[in-house]
Amino acid sequence: MRKDFYIFRHGETDYNKERRWQGCGIDAPLNTNGIKQARELAEKLIPFKIEHIYSSNLKRARQTAEICAEKLNVGMEVIPNLREGCFGEVEGMLKSEIALRYADIFKEWYSPVDDMTIRFPGGESKQEMQQRMFSVLEGLLKVPYQRIGIASHGSSIRYLLYKFGLPPHQMPNTALFHLIYENEEWTLE
């Protein structure tokens, strides 16, 4: 049995534009550019023949998923565990403020030599995000769809894909990744 997961980050919000960290505690909607990006993403997804989309419960991912699902004429369901990580005290702060105030943690956040236990005060660790996201994928192995879209968030996607060999990196809004499960093995294309 083969399953294809097309995992994508949500479109832009005003917080993204301002370079503020949202985390799971800030439920910002897409801005005008984010809606445009989601429509462009939907066009890119057409050739993959996605059968169903699952989304984070946060507005920015949900709106992106809804735009894509409508264009692809497929169903969409919310799975809260696809949400962004909890960043505790830094949610709502500018990246530049975080880099100054929490310099050591911020430096390690995107580091390719990765300490997965790192977290911001009051937040979720990279490892906890990765485990949460991976358990959603394992659950989706049981659904009847073979080609699945997943709308989620930058950090949650980043540390999920680190499990499959993609080094931590910053990703643009609506970045798209293809993860395959076949013969009990996972492959990131």
User: What secondary structure letter does DSSP report for 2?
Assistant: E
**Helices 32-45 and 59-72 meet at what angle, rounded to 10?**
40
From residue 139, give the alpha-carbon distance in Å to each of 49, 50, 144: 21, 18, 11
d(CA 37, CA 121): 32
In degrees, rounded to 5, the angle at the alpha carbon of residue 158 between the alpha carbons of residues 57 and 1 is 80
Cβ atoms 154, 172 nearer than 8 A: no
Which of the following is catalytic: 12, 84, 91, 124? Answer: 84
d(CA 32, CA 142): 36
Q: How are beta strands 75-78 and 176-182 bridged, if at all?
A: unpaired
Does the active-site annotation cover 52? Answer: no
Which of the following is catalytic: 10, 91, 124, 153? Answer: 10
Cβ atoms 4, 178 nearer than 8 A: yes
Does the active-site annotation cover 10? Answer: yes
Catalytic residues: 10, 84
